Amino acid sequence: MARTEFLAERINRIKPSPSMAAKALVDKLRAEGRDIIDFTIGEPDLNTPTHVVEAAIDAMHRGETKYTGSSGTPALRKTIAEKLHRDNGLEYGAENIVVGSGGKHVIFHALAVSLNRGDEVIIHAPYWVSYPDMVVVNDGVPVIVSGTEQQGFKLTPESLEAAITPRTKWLILNTPNNPTGAVYTEAELVALGEVLERHPHVWVMSDEIYEHFVYAGVRHVSPVKAIPSIKDRSLVISGASKGYSMTGFRLGFGAGPTSLVNAISKLVSQTTTCPSSISQAAAIAAFGGSQDAPREAAKVFEARGKLMAELLEGVPGISVKAPRGAFYLYPCVAGLIGKTTPDGQALNSDLDVVKYFTEYAGVATLDGSAYGVAPYLRLSFATSEESIREGCKRIAQACNELR
Ligand SMILES: Cc1ncc(COP(=O)(O)O)c(C=O)c1O
C-alpha cells in the first residue's frame, strides 16, 4: 500500500495554511543566506507585555501547571465575560465562555460540533485562508460570496440574502478583516441583521480577533452588539494573540449559547483536554489588567500602515488604500499583470507577482488568490519601520524594472 493511501480522504481535501507555507519559504531562503524582507507576517512583532509574562511565570511558581477544566479556568472565563462587557458592550456569563488554544482552535471545534455533511457556511471573500479549509475538513461546504473593492470588500445585504439556502448553517463575519483591513460600521451590520432576522436558522460566527486594531477614527463594533437578535445564535471569537502579542501562548475564546459552548468543550475534552494552564493565567492578566499594550500597539500599527500605504502610492502597477483595521494592506496589482520581468518572465497572475518580488526583490508577500480575490497582494505591516521602508523601496524598484 502506498504511504498516501493510508491517509484519510479528509486530509486530501485541504491544503496547508498558505501563510505558514510562506513563513517556511522565508525561513528557507534566509537559511540559504538571502536577505529577505518579510511582509507575510500574521502576528505582531511587539513584545508580550511584561505583566503578562510575569503572570505566566508566577502561575508556574504557584504550581498552576496542571490540567484545567476543558472550557478553561473559572477565573479566566469570568475575566473574559467582564472583558466582553467592558470592551464590546456584550453581556455574557462565565458559563457562555469556552477558552481554546487560540481562536483558530475554537472556530475549528465550533464547526466540528455543528456541521453535518453538506451543511453550508457562507464565507465572504477575500477571507482568512483557514475558514474554507476548516469547513471542508469538517464535511461542510463553503459558499464563497465574492466581494469587490468598490464595496470596500464588505458583504452586502443583497449578496448575503442570495447566498442563504435551507442548508446554510453559519455565516462567518470577520471584522476587522484579514486580509483587507475592512471594518464594518454599525449601520452596515444592522443592514446585514435585517437579512439575518428573516433567516433564523443561520448562525453567525463573529471573528473579532483584530478588534483592537482600528485606525483613522474607525470604531470596532461587535456584530452581536449591533444585531442583538442574533445573540442566541452567534459565537463571538477573539483571543490574546493579536491584541496582546501573545500568538505563541495559543489562547483564544468563544462566547455564545451554552448549548454550543458545552458541545465545543465536550469535543475539547477529547482532543486537547484543555488550553495551557500557564497561558490561561497569563490571559487573565492580559484581558483583566492594564489595557495600555493593545492601545499602544494600535498606535504603532496605525503609523506603520499609513507609512506603507504612502510608500506604495504612486508605484506603477500597484493601487493601494490606507488601512482601516487589522495590520494588512491589500493592494490591487492588476497593473502589473501582463508585464515582463528583466529575466523575460511574463507576470500572468498575482502568484507570479509574489514569486517575482520574492526571488528578484527579496520581499516576501502573499497572493490575493489564496484569499479568494485576485489579483491582489496581502502585505503585513506588523514589522519594523525600517523593514517597511526597505521592502517598499525594493518593490518600487522591481516594478520600475518591468517592461
Ligand atoms: C481572521 C483570523 N481569525 C483568527 C485567527 C486565529 O488566531 P489565533 O488562533 O492565534 O487566536 C487569525 C490568525 O491569523 C486570523 O487572522
Ligand 1, atom 7: closest residue by C-alpha = 103
What average pLDDT does this structure show over 154-182? 98
First-last CA distance in the chain: 51
pLDDT at 112 > cutoff 90? yes
Tell me, what's the pLDDT at 160? 98
pLDDT at 131 > cutoff 60? yes
Residue at which a domain ends, from 289, 313, 341: 289
Higher pLDDT, 302 or 18: 302
Mutate to test the pocket of ligand 1, among 178, 183, 280, 366 (most ligand atoms within 8 A of CB): 178
Ligand 1 atom closest to Cα of residue 101: 9
Q: Could you tell me if residue 53 is inside a domain?
A: no
- For the stretch 209-221, pLDDT in tens is 999 999 999 999 9
Instruction: Indicate whether 94 and 198 sit together in one domain.
Output: yes
Residue at which a domain ends, from 289, 322, 348: 289
Residue at which a domain ends, from 255, 289, 323: 289
* Helix, strand, coil share of the chain (percent; to 5): 45, 15, 40
Containing domain of residue 373, as a range? 3-34+293-400
Rounded CA separation 115/264 (Å): 12
Q: Could you tell me if residue 60 is inside a domain?
A: no
Predicted confidence band at 1 (pLDDT cuts at 50, 70, 90)? low
316: domain CATH number is 3.90.1150.10
Please count the structural domains in the chain.
2
Instruction: Indicate whether 136 and 258 sit together in one domain.
Output: yes
Ligand 1, atom 16: closest residue by C-alpha = 178
Q: What is the mean pLDDT of the chain?
A: 96
Q: Could you tell me if residue 70 is inside a domain?
A: yes
- For the stretch 221-258, pLDDT in tens is 999 999 999 999 999 999 999 999 999 999 999 999 99
Tell me, what's the pLDDT at 19? 76
- For the stretch 271-328, pLDDT in tens is 999 999 999 999 999 999 999 999 999 999 999 999 999 999 999 999 999 999 999 9
Share of the chain above pLDDT 70, in %: 99
Quickly tell me which residue has 504612486 as its cell.
314
Q: How far is the CA of 73 from the centre of ligand 1 (A)?
A: 22
Cβ atoms within 10 Å of 316's Cβ, excluding its own: 11
Instruction: Indicate whether 86 and 228 sit together in one domain.
Output: yes
Residue type, 379: L
Instruction: Indicate whether 115 and 247 sit together in one domain.
Output: yes
pLDDT at 166 > cutoff 80? yes
Share of the chain above pLDDT 90, in %: 95
Measured from CB, residues less than 6 Å from any atom of ligand 1 are 42, 102-104, 128, 174, 178, 207, 209, 239, 241, 247, 252
Tell me, what's the pLDDT at 2? 59
Rounded CA separation 321/344 (Å): 30
